[in-house]
A and B are shown apart, each in its own frame.
Chain A
């Protein structure tokens, strides 16, 4: 699973397809990633974590 900020979603999905993993799951978070205060990093974590946990649950259910 790759964590990806929203403006890079198209590029990330294109790269996944070209590199042969079209179903590579992306955890989408708000941009930017760099230069964030700790509270904003925490917000990104809150955005990413449910997506990561959902993916783990999917894998366990398979």
Chain B
């Protein structure tokens, strides 16, 4: 038997309006939202959300900086209701947040930095497809309830539990649109290669999320190249950009290849690893293109062995190793691919979706089996 929500309510309920317009105004007054309309998180709605969680509702899975707010499922569920999530989305919301809590993701830095990063969540595996997480047309854009509301739930939890209120706990100079919502699924069906999570050793039938502290995407348009090297050359030019933080850290930016680009690249005989190596080798920046102060402070002084006496034509890679480039296939028809640089001081984290007994979840309703 699932517990009753009343068991957990002590100290958690405020007397707030239930009307959507009034509730939204109330939340905005308290800095409890992102500015968009809010679904009031009534006890019944939160209870329906938690029906899809098979762990204790009040056991913290971590703490959200900078406020160090306890991340309990019941608190996350309230934010998921506010964001408009359907209850079956909730296990992915929890999984993404748990992945963000791994120390190497550096959530404290990502929450409070002046940099415009946000946690990008990439979903792989069957449950993403079951829930309809968009991997196709306009995957980074609007129009899909799963992408929009799962990502929004993450952001609301970052604000409401973590205290990432602009100018108080979130010091982003300008922020980025991805801070509203930033969730996609890899388009595994359209990929000429095995999915990203299989590259990492997971089974094809596992569902995983990968979180990356990413900037907004930068497009590579190539409607003309008929060969893989041509398309990769266009992308290499896009990633050879001097302002990205990942040039200076061990971190994993994302290359999201459109399916048409990916197929052309693969048809030319490139494995995913060969494509990574091509981009690593060709997507470099002549040292002389950086500003003199950056050459001095971030290259010569910090990396004396590599750049102490380097000439202006020395080529600087955008990552430290070819395998640091996360290659996924994403989107629908069209000749576009995207590059998503990172915050820098952050590592990508991948986690599998498991049930409370440790088994890998195969269907979302595994979470509501009696006794689960």
Bound complex: CA A14 to CA B167 (Å): 12
Contact B66 A18 (CB under 8 A): yes
Mask, A3-24, CB within 8 Å of B = 1, is 0000110110011001000000
Contact B68 A11 (CB under 8 A): no
B10 close to A (CB within 8 Å): no
**Residue on B with the closest CB to A10?**
B168
Bound complex: CA A10 to CA B112 (Å): 12
Contacts of A11 in B (CB 8 A): 66, 112, 168-169, 171
B41 to chain A, nearest CB (A): 25
Bound complex: CA A35 to CA B171 (Å): 18
B129 close to A (CB within 8 Å): no
B67 close to A (CB within 8 Å): yes
Q: Which of A7, A8, A18, A35 contacts B67, CB < 8 Å?
A: A18
Contacts of B151 in A (CB 8 A): none
Bound complex: CA A56 to CA B237 (Å): 54
Interface size class of B (residues with CB under 8 A): 10 to 19
Contacts of A15 in B (CB 8 A): 66
Bound complex: CA A1 to CA B171 (Å): 21
Bound complex: CA A8 to CA B112 (Å): 10
Q: Which of A14, A18, A35 contacts B168, CB < 8 Å?
A: A14
Interface of A is mostly: helix
Contacts of B171 in A (CB 8 A): 7-8, 11
Q: Which of A7, A8, A14, A35 contacts B163, CB < 8 Å?
A: A14
Mask, B84-119, CB within 8 Å of A = 1, is 000000000000000000000000000010000000
**Residue on B with the closest CB to A14?**
B66
Contacts of B163 in A (CB 8 A): 14
Bound complex: CA A35 to CA B163 (Å): 29
A36 to chain B, nearest CB (A): 11
A18 to chain B, nearest CB (A): 5
Bound complex: CA A35 to CA B293 (Å): 9
Contacts of B67 in A (CB 8 A): 14, 18
B124 to chain A, nearest CB (A): 35
Bound complex: CA A10 to CA B66 (Å): 11
B175 to chain A, nearest CB (A): 15
**Residue on A with the closest CB to B293?**
A35
Mask, B63-83, CB within 8 Å of A = 1, is 000111000000000000000
B296 to chain A, nearest CB (A): 13
Bound complex: CA A7 to CA B168 (Å): 9
Contacts of A14 in B (CB 8 A): 66-67, 163, 168-169
Bound complex: CA A37 to CA B112 (Å): 26
A22 to chain B, nearest CB (A): 14
Contacts of B112 in A (CB 8 A): 11
Bound complex: CA A8 to CA B114 (Å): 10
A39 to chain B, nearest CB (A): 17
A9 to chain B, nearest CB (A): 10
B353 to chain A, nearest CB (A): 31
Contacts of B66 in A (CB 8 A): 11, 14-15, 18
Mask, B156-194, CB within 8 Å of A = 1, is 000000010001110100000000000000000000000
B interface list, Cβ under 8 A from A? 66-68, 112, 163, 167-169, 171, 293
Q: Which 9 A-B pairs have the closest CB atoms?
A: A18-B68, A10-B168, A15-B66, A11-B112, A11-B171, A11-B169, A14-B66, A11-B66, A8-B171
Q: What are 20 A-B pairs with beta-carbon distances under 8 A? A: A7-B167, A7-B171, A8-B171, A10-B167, A10-B168, A11-B66, A11-B112, A11-B168, A11-B169, A11-B171, A14-B66, A14-B67, A14-B163, A14-B168, A14-B169, A15-B66, A18-B66, A18-B67, A18-B68, A35-B293
Known contacts A11-B168, A14-B67, then 15 further A-B pairs from the complex at CB < 8 Å, ordered by chain A residue: A7-B167, A7-B171, A8-B171, A10-B168, A11-B66, A11-B112, A11-B169, A11-B171, A14-B66, A14-B163, A14-B168, A14-B169, A18-B66, A18-B67, A18-B68
